[in-house]
């Protein structure tokens, strides 16, 4: 995979799972060609961490309140998000509002509160002219309903797991769909069929690390009962996830990296400016030596 550049469009590198060895994880990702990583925040308390990590390592970040964190969020957190977006509006590494959305899978969540936070954050994305990174779980139709009213500048529906019709509705609204480790499971028929059939311009790659371990890291409930730890996913797995996509599409690995990278830059336009800058820095460095 020498010379290829991959973009992990969704990775929670700030998660506690990486506290012990974050730098090693980042070095491994770079060594296998992961050139850019997007770090979405999940709550206000995490805003500083994703911003600092992005700046320390040349990555990108997004600010938002995740639907699974809405019940714990304070009502004033929307105002705090707005303040952060205003303070950082000229930060080239701030590429989106996210991770936001609706989760209708996890039981016992306050759906009205989720909808309130989602709509308010879409309005902020529109105000600050940023795309959004969406959490979609059994919620595609409700997410789409809000999007049609909010007219945001597109973005990514991450870890997409809806129908083909729903996928195409997101695409029609200017969204790309994020595919990750689930692609690597033979039995993930619907996701694999979507990844195979969707227009090539609609697909971006992600790990969602430390979550969604690909098939080669996955431990079954039985293995875990026998004492095997559930494996931690990491951004260095992205190229191999890209191989799963390449096999499904009949693409070369080079083409897969190039197409999904271009799609990521189209979905999150500030990534394109960052990548031009890092390419320029790399060629400047080349001239110096
Ligand atoms: Zn996430």
- Among the four given CATH numbers 3.40.50.2000, 2.40.420.20, 1.10.150.120, 3.20.20.140, the one describing domain 6-288: 3.20.20.140
- Residue 278's pLDDT band (boundaries 50, 70, 90)? low
pLDDT at 39 over 90: yes
How much distance in Å is there from the Cα of 285 to the middle of ligand 1? 34
pLDDT at 284: 53
How much distance in Å is there from the Cα of 90 to the middle of ligand 1? 24
Residue-wise pLDDT tens digits, 168-224: 999 999 999 999 999 989 899 999 999 999 999 999 999 999 988 888 887 777 877
How much distance in Å is there from the Cα of 289 to the middle of ligand 1? 40
How much distance in Å is there from the Cα of 171 to the middle of ligand 1? 20
62 Ramachandran zone, left/alpha/beta (phi>0; psi -120 to 50): beta
Domain extent listing, the chain: 6-288
Q: Does the pTM of the predicted model rise above 0.85?
A: yes
Residue-wise pLDDT tens digits, 89-128: 999 999 999 999 999 999 999 999 999 999 999 999 999 9
Residue-wise pLDDT tens digits, 220-243: 778 777 877 778 999 999 999 999
**Spacing of C-alpha 157 from chain mean position:** 8
Residue-wise over 235-264: b if at least 16 C-beta within 10 A, else e? bbbbbbbbebbbebbebebeebbebbbebb
């Amino acid at each position: 995979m020498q010379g290829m550049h991959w973009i992990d469009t969704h990775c929670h590198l700030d998660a506690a799972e990486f506290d012990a060895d974050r730098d090693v994880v980042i070095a491994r990702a770079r060594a296998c060609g992961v050139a850019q990583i997007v770090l979405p925040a999940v709550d206000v308390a995490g805003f500083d961490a994703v911003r600092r990590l992005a700046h320390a390592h040349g990555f990108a970040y997004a600010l938002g309140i995740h639907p699974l964190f809405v019940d714990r969020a304070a009502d004033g957190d929307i105002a705090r998000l707005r303040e952060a977006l205003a303070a950082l509006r000229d930060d080239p590494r701030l590429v989106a509002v996210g991770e936001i959305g609706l989760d209708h899978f996890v039981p016992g969540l306050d759906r009205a509160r989720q909808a309130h936070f989602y709509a308010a954050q879409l309005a902020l994305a529109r105000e600050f002219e940023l795309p959004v990174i969406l959490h979609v779980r059994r919620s595609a139709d409700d997410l789409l309903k809000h999007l049609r009213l909010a007219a945001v500048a597109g973005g990514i529906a991450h870890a997409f797991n809806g129908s083909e019709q729903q996928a195409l509705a997101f695409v029609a609204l200017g969204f790309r769909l994020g595919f990750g480790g689930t692609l690597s499971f033979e039995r993930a028929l619907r996701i694999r069929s979507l990844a195979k059939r969707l227009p090539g311009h609609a697909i971006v790659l992600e790990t969602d690390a430390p979550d969604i371990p690909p098939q080669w890291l996955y431990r079954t409930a039985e293995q875990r009962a026998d004492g095997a730890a559930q494996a931690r996913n990491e951004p260095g797995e992205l190229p191999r996830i890209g191989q799963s996509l390449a096999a499904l599409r009949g693409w070369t690995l080079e083409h897969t990296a190039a197409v999904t990278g271009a799609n990521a830059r189209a979905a999150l336009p500030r990534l394109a400016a960052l990548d031009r800058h890092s390419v320029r820095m790399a060629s400047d460095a080349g001239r110096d030596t």
